[in-house]
Amino acid sequence: MKGKIWQVTGKAIALCLLTIQFSGAVYAQYDFSHADDSNTVVVRYSRTPGELETPDTSTTATIYGNGRVIVHYPPYGTRKGDYQTKLSVAELDALISNLLDKDLLAYDAQDVANQKQKIMQDENIGFYIGDADISIIEIKLASYNPQGLPNRYDVREKISIPSLQAQAQRFPSIRSLVNLAAAERQFLDLINSDNLSPLR
């Protein structure tokens, strides 16, 4: 396969050759595959408090192709350090499918900003973020076949947004914000899970 760029919903998705093994799945209208080894990150989530200025401030959940999950907590919380758990193939594929179902790949920050501006103008009510938490969601798929398209493409998507939950509550009519907040809650459930064990 030769590398090329495909433009979809304003996002550039590159097609490239990968030499590792992949796990494939078809959920609803989503046809995708991802690396299935223990070294390749497939999904990553992080949340960083905006008001703290110490080196280790982010809570992260890193999910590898074989379903291994490493959760890192900064040193100032109840939980500290690194913990782990394992997702089954079905659980990992279901999580990815749910992210796709939330239109993660169609998120357009400029469009969201325009919608927020119009709502605030219409309502004559502002919205102040300040030193907000920064949420980042990343997804990497070896191949993805959107519904109705003939070819499969790899996906490298990264979304960074401040005060995600607060924004979704303030602007409930903006579907992409509400969907993204729902996707984030999946990761928050994982981070707060009782099934995590300390990483030795």
Q: Helices (H), strands (E): how many in the chain? A: 4, 11
Smallest Cα–Cα separation from 135: which of 184, 194, 102, 176? 184
Question: What is the pTM for the complete model shown?
Answer: 0.79
Q: What is the pLDDT of residues 109-166, one digit of tens each?
A: 999 999 999 998 888 877 777 667 899 999 999 988 877 666 777 889 999 999 899 8
Number of residues written out for the chain: 200
Report the half-sphere exposure of 162 (CA within 13 A, side-chain side). 10
Smallest Cα–Cα separation from 100: which of 13, 19, 17, 162? 13
Q: How far apart are CA 156 and CA 14, in angstroms?
A: 8
Q: How far apart are CA 25 and CA 97, in angstroms?
A: 9
Mean pLDDT of the chain: 80
The kind and range of the H/E element at 69 are strand 68-73
pLDDT at 29: 60
